[in-house]
Amino acid sequence: MSTTAGNTKAYADSSGSFKRRGPRFTDRIVANPTGEGEWPAEPGRYRLVVSLACPWAHRSVIVRRLMGLEDAISLGITDPLQDDRSWRFSLDEDAKDPVLGYTHLEQAYLARDPEDGTENGVSVPAIVDVASGQLVTNDYPQITIDLGQQWRAHQRAGAPDLYPEELREEIDGVNEGVFHDVNNGVYRAGFATKQARYEEAFTALFARLDALDERLENQRYLVGDHITEADIRLFTTLARFDAVYQSHFKCNRQKLAEFGALWAYARDLYQTPGFGDTVDFDHIKRHYYMVQTTINPTQIVPLGPEPSAWLTTHHREELGGSPFGPEGSAPTPLEHPLRPLGPIDM
């Protein structure tokens, strides 16, 4: 089984450090393709496959919802519990994705490259060309940027600009530190195989969280006065912190709920349409605690923490700014949960 939540293959090197391999397929879907490796942004052509457990895939779910692309790009959701072929569609009727007809996401990877399609693992998020059944891209950082920038002709009225040109340098700088020390940092702590490597990751993680906590004391969002890519990338790790990383990955100096500004910031985002309504704590906990048996061999899933804490008052609006910018608006409420109907194997 995979040892990570949704991203690419990972391993610990001889020093005991966790290493993550990058995405295998880095084609892009763009408004005006001009060459090899570029696909047209055509509504109805693609299916976005995710796991609700996976923080890397969760980013794309949030952006798709914020941009109002539900009718343009369909969504396939995998079982949080993998088998020896990785992500499977066992929550859907007949254990097959109703659009692709696949039982496993692996099939889209092999349709794209029968020889080496799964060389770097089978990861989510993955965008699949429906007609051919071939994987287009699993480049998780680029997917969200392109959903925000390249699909503008198909976005809802009031969709925010998550990657404004004048803020890109600052957003990229924030994202780089957050990726290394927080998004990937929790994995570097959790999957380290030597004490020194764990302590290095642990120290860097909490140093970064302390810096973010200080940064957010006097500003509502990480960059600028409305939500950007930076907030989305940080949020998906924060949403899993107390439920998983604090205990399961031994990131236990303190809980997210014991921070000041950072915890209020996380609650502010959670209560913003597109964020909390895409979080599934059941999928999250079942995946981490039941799949990662090298860390949790008993596969016991903890009952806490109480999710209602995410709905408590945060007062972040007092800092000014607005979630979607001065000309933006919230996406319409979800009519039903994201999760497909069906049992989860225990």
Is 270 noted as a catalytic residue in this protein?
Answer: no
Backbone angles phi, psi at 166, to 5 degrees: -70, -15
Q: What type of residue sits at position 206?
A: F
The candidate with the shortest Cα–Cα distance to 85, out of 138, 43, 122, 31, is 122
CA distance 165 to 329: 20
Q: What are the residue ranges spanned by the domains of the chain?
A: 10-154, 167-319
User: For 167-319, which CATH class?
Assistant: mainly alpha
Buried b (16+ CB within 10 A) or exposed e, 264-296: bbbbbbbbbbbbbbbbbbebbbbbbbbbbeeeb
How far, CA to CA in Å, does 88 sit from each of 49, 107, 249? Answer: 10, 10, 25
Is 265 noted as a catalytic residue in this protein?
Answer: no
CA distance 200 to 202: 6
Instruction: Tell me the two tokens of residue 107.
Output: 């099939």
Instruction: Tell me the two tokens of residue 38.
Output: 């570029």
- Answer yes or no: are the C-beta atoms of 93 and 116 closer than 8 Å: no
Long-range contacts of 319-324 (CB under 8 A, 24+ apart): 319/218, 319/219, 319/220, 320/220, 320/225, 321/219, 321/220, 321/221, 321/224, 321/225, 321/226, 322/225, 322/226, 323/160, 323/226, 323/227, 323/272, 324/66, 324/158, 324/159, 324/160, 324/226, 324/227
Find where tokens 């020896």 sit.
84
- Answer yes or no: are the C-beta atoms of 99 and 130 closer than 8 Å: yes
Out of 46, 140, 187, 221, which one is annotated catalytic?
187
Residues in the chain, overall count: 346
- Give the residues of the chain that fall short of pLDDT 50: 1-3, 7-8, 343-346
- Answer yes or no: are the C-beta atoms of 200 and 12 closer than 8 Å: no
* pLDDT at position 11: 64
CATH of domain 10-154: 3.40.30.10
DSSP designation for 228: -
pTM more than 0.75: yes
CA distance 139 to 144: 9
* pLDDT at position 228: 98
**Strand 46-50 versus strand 74-77 pairing type:** parallel
Out of 54, 163, 245, 288, which one is annotated catalytic?
54
β strands within 242-303, DSSP E = none
